[in-house]
Amino acid sequence: MAIPDFQSIMLPLLRFCADGKEHTNQKALEALVQEFQLSEDEQKELLPSGQQRVIDNRVAWARAHMKMAELLENTRRGVFRITDRGQDVLKGMPSEINLRLLRQFPEYVAARDKRKENLGDQGCSDLEEREGKTPAEQLEAAYQTLRENLAAEILAQLKGGSAMFFERVVVEVLVKMGYGGSRKDAGEAIGRSGDEGIDGIIKEDRLGLDIIYI
């Protein structure tokens, strides 16, 4: 099955803690991987930045939200357990635990309001509830969108520019890649481009060579 969003993880995580014992983050993660029958590929799936697994990120945020609502509590670093309030929620046999349910607890509302004030994330709550995206996923998605928009804008400028402009951009890119020294000394656009292609010279100081591309 697909990796569940962080709100779908909340109820299974709380049920895992129903025995009242202390649990480590790692043991909880392993139990949830089994609960959702995640494949090897799904377990290895990373956020766009490549810095964290998707399942790790979503479990961490599910746990964080329930801690803000005081359904879970830390006993020491990396270890947590269910609270009396968490047990009461389970006794109500909810079909799911989500942000809407958590907002019934004043401690959760206060914690979210404080977080919004500190981080300026007034729009995050609605997006989290509507799309099930964690804040990290929202930020990375926004970053990826900005990169894609920037790439499209640069491509449009290259296509709309003159041949000489394109030649100079190519030389600049090659210089930035390490071919030669300064822009003035290392590369120049010859300026004879047309239907036949691009003319220019890149001077490679380290090898004492001139690389001519056409």
In a domain, 70, yes or no: yes
Tokens matching residue 174? 């090659």
Same domain, 72 and 31: yes
Q: How many domains would you assign to the chain?
A: 2
Distance CA 56, CA 52 (A): 7
Q: Could you tell me the pTM of the whole model?
A: 0.63
> With 0-12 CB in 10 A as exposed, 13-18 as middle and 19+ as buried, what is 129?
middle
Domain, as residue range, for 79: 6-135
**Tokens at 72, concatenated:** 């879970």
Give me the average pLDDT of each 10-residue run along the chain (214 residues): 92 98 97 97 91 93 96 95 98 96 96 77 54 69 60 70 70 68 52 52 49 42
124 and 45, same structural domain? Answer: yes
Q: 187 and 122 in one domain?
A: no
Among 135, 170, 202, residue at a domain's last position:
135
Q: Is residue 149 part of a domain?
A: no
Asked if the structure places residue 207 within a domain, the reply is yes
Are 35 and 121 contained in the same domain? yes
pLDDT of residue 116: 76
DSSP state letter for 214: -
Q: What is the pLDDT of residue 134?
A: 80
